[in-house]
Amino acid sequence: MDEVADIAGWQAPEFQDIAGLPTGDQWSRVKRQLRAELGEDVSESWFGRVDLESDGPDETVLLSVPTRFLKQWLQAHYYDLLLKLWKLENRKVNQIEFIVRRKGLEEDHRKNIPSAALIPPEPDQGPGPQYGVQRGRLSEKISFPKGDESARQAGLHKRLKANAASLARSLKASNRYVELAAAAEEYALLLDEPVESSDVTGLWAVGGALSSFAQSYRDQNVGRTFADPLEPQLEALLLSVSRQHGAFIMGFEEGRDLVNRADEYALDPARLGEIALPGNEILRELTENRELVDERTRALHRPVRDSAAELGWSTSRVGYSAYLIVRNGVRAMIKFSVGENPNLGTVLGILAGAL
């Protein structure tokens, strides 16, 4: 408790309200310390729409939030910090409880919202997967081919689809290489769609993860070792699919742009290490949290998460895929939870270790 009290030189109050309900003044002081601990951007993004309710037990701080996602996120990532700060204000408090306000964001957005003319335009979403909300959960928006790309890709798509399906079946039958088999299965499922309705960004991300596994199995002892090397026929098929994937994705304008950006991705290893720690946590949420992300999108994230965890963020192009999923996913989570204009400061704050 003492180390929390030392945040920004803050001294604990005299506990004037220790016998009563948590008060608005106490909540104001707790929020002030959250700003000192997390920074203005991160604190406002996660706690700006959190209200103190008055109908909880004496020992419980009852906080209301506008969305189910925000409730889960705060409970998972900020519960301990909140409880420590509240205990400095009111020693009788022994738990924090989050509830979702009935009218949620609809009512919340009517409070103190500036006129549309004063709200800055939302920043360009940038490259990589984009997210919307479907039935209360994050959902990746399908990125369709442009113009006549579908017709030009039809022949290669047919061959790649057949080879990817064969690879997925062979890996499943071998009952080994769990992460690789999962990536191959998801890639084959994506290719099952007709070219004109393909998800270019999804194919780039999952195919990139599959190619990263292929390169690592080929190199074996570069950086890490695999206890179970690939059988020769599986390795040949995997490398063939990887090469065909490269040609296929380069046939799309968006695919070429993503490949070029990945090649130019020049963050130094130390910086990648800083991003990887909180980034892996967010990737885990975006892959495993059924309440937050729909099934199709979690399936797209899983090969990237597995490849980044197994191979590292700096060993292949998968690091750039992971970065884009984390960056765009965080932006979408903030937008979904607290408003239409997530700012870069918040994203960088989270990536720098706010989790």
Q: With 70 as the cut, is the pLDDT of residue 72 above it? A: yes
pLDDT at 121: 44
- Domains in the chain with CATH codes: 2-106 (3.30.300.180), 149-354 (no CATH)
Of 102-106, 141-145, 226-230, 324-328, give the range with the top mean pLDDT: 141-145
Average pLDDT over every residue of 24-43? 85
pLDDT-derived band at 180 (thresholds 50, 70, 90) equals very high
pLDDT reported for residue 190: 97
Region 154-162: mean pLDDT is: 96
Residue 349 has pLDDT above 60, yes or no: no
CA 90, 65, 281: angle at the middle one, nearest 5? 90
Q: Does the pLDDT at position 9 exceed 90? A: no
Q: How confident is the model at residue 20 (pLDDT cuts 50, 70, 90)?
A: low
Residue 208: per-residue pLDDT: 93
Is residue 68 scored above 80 in pLDDT?
A: no
pLDDT in tens, 245-300: 999 999 999 999 998 888 776 555 666 667 777 788 889 889 998 888 999 999 99
Residue 8 DSSP symbol: G
pLDDT in the model for residue 220: 65
Take residue 285 and report the two structure tokens written for it. 């949420």
**pTM for this entry:** 0.65
3-state secondary structure 218-266: HHCCCCCCCCCCCCHHHHHHHHHHHHHHHHHHCCCHHHHHHHHHHHHCC
Among 3-7, 110-114, 273-277, 304-308, the range scoring the smallest mean pLDDT is: 3-7
Amino acid 227: pLDDT: 56
- Phi, psi at residue 114, to the nearest 5°? -65, 165
Asked whether residue 177 carries a pLDDT value surpassing 50, the answer given is yes
Residue with more model confidence, 1 or 94? 94
Contact 209, 304 (CB under 8 A): yes
Say yes or no to pLDDT of 324 above 50. Answer: yes
Please indicate whether residue 262 or residue 244 has the higher confidence score (pLDDT): 244
pLDDT at position 57: 65
H/E segment holding residue 183: helix 178-191
Percent of the chain past pLDDT 70, that is, above it, reads 74
pLDDT: which is higher, 246 or 121:
246
Task: Examine the pLDDT at 22 and tell me if it is beyond 80.
Answer: no
Q: Which pLDDT tens digit goes with each residue over 206-227? A: 999 999 888 888 776 444 455 5
Give 107's pLDDT tier (boundaries 50, 70, 90): very low
CA 206 – CA 190 distance, rounded (Å): 9
Q: What is the pLDDT of residue 246?
A: 93
Give residue 55's pLDDT. 58
The dihedral built from the CA positions of residue 203, 205, 206 and 208, taken in this order, carries a sign that is: positive
Q: What single string gives the DSSP state of each residue in 118-171?
A: GSPPPPP--SS--EEEETTEEEEPP----TTHHHHHHHHHHHHHHHHHHHHHHH
